[in-house]
Structure 1
């Protein structure tokens, strides 16, 4: 009958969905629950980390150099 496909469907769905859930969990652990869904948010996260040394501590204009370092 039609319900014989349910176990196979569950196995395939679990095999394809489990890696995505694991990666999402690792992402939450690595980035301390910051929302980095879009690429621009990830770039701003990395920029903050590069400028201030910590992406989690907000800083003002005093930490941004006036001229680029060469």
Structure 2
């Protein structure tokens, strides 16, 4: 099994290459989406961040980037 990491700056083609891989039947894991899912409102991860850091990193109910 091969593991390929796609890295690069904004507009470098990461999403395009990931789409090509997916169309070829290659499994693609989107780390950005996994991170967004982990901190969505109501998630245990978000609750832990709020518990440890209070409102320091929040804009309303969302984690502030």
Name the TM-score, length of structure 1 as normaliser.
0.27
Q: Which has the higher strand share?
A: 2
Q: Which has the higher helix share?
A: 1
Larger radius of gyration: 1
Q: Which has the higher contact order (CA 8 A, sep 6+)?
A: 2
